[in-house]
Amino acid sequence: MSDPISGVSQLMKLSVSASEAVQVMRMQRLWWCLPAVVLCVADGLLTLWGQPVAYWSGGFAVVREDNPLAAWLLSVHPLAFAAAGVPYLLVVLGTVMVLPRRWAVAAAVGVALAHAFAVGVWFVVPLC
């Protein structure tokens, strides 16, 4: 018969390795979000950079943006547009962290592709 103390120590080792595995999985999922975050930031910066001179000198009335929500935020103020990116990215990160693996990958890739497309559109359409 085995010593009860050694059984407890083995159980603790298993729980430590299980918690380490969960931490590794969380870090991996955060890495999945990196392309989406970088491309989202690039899209936002290019959106601000691509606004016409009339936007900056005319009280934000002339907006150059095809996304209706982003266009409305830009018409309110550029800081409203920029500040809206924070909760948006938190929702993306939270979604990737809680979804099952396959859906999390799909969400991270989908958001990254959408923003990659938007970044590409800014390079096709002449800026200013």
**Mean pLDDT in residue range 86-92:** 97
> Does 37 fall in a domain?
yes
Q: Name the maximum alpha-carbon separation found in the chain.
A: 84
Average pLDDT over residues 9-14: 56
Is the CB of residue 115 less than 8 Å from the CB of residue 38?
Answer: no
Mean pLDDT of 84-96: 96
Nearest alpha carbon to residue 97 among 29, 20, 8: 29
Instruction: State residue 83's pLDDT score.
Output: 97
The domain tally of the chain equals 1
In a domain, 67, yes or no: yes
Global pTM? 0.79
Structure confidence by residue, pLDDT tens digits, 16-63: 566 777 777 788 889 999 999 999 999 999 999 999 999 999 889 999
Q: What are phi and psi of 107, to 5 degrees?
A: -65, -45
Q: Residue 14 falls within a domain, yes or no?
A: no
For the chain, give the percent of residues with pLDDT over 70: 83
Q: What integer pLDDT is reported at residue 16 of this predicted model?
A: 57
The answer for 59, left when phi > 0, alpha when psi is -120 to 50, beta otherwise, is left
Residue 17 within any structural domain of the chain: no
Domain that holds residue 54: 30-124
CA neighbor of 26 nearest in space, from 92, 88, 98:
98
Q: What is the pLDDT of residue 53?
A: 92
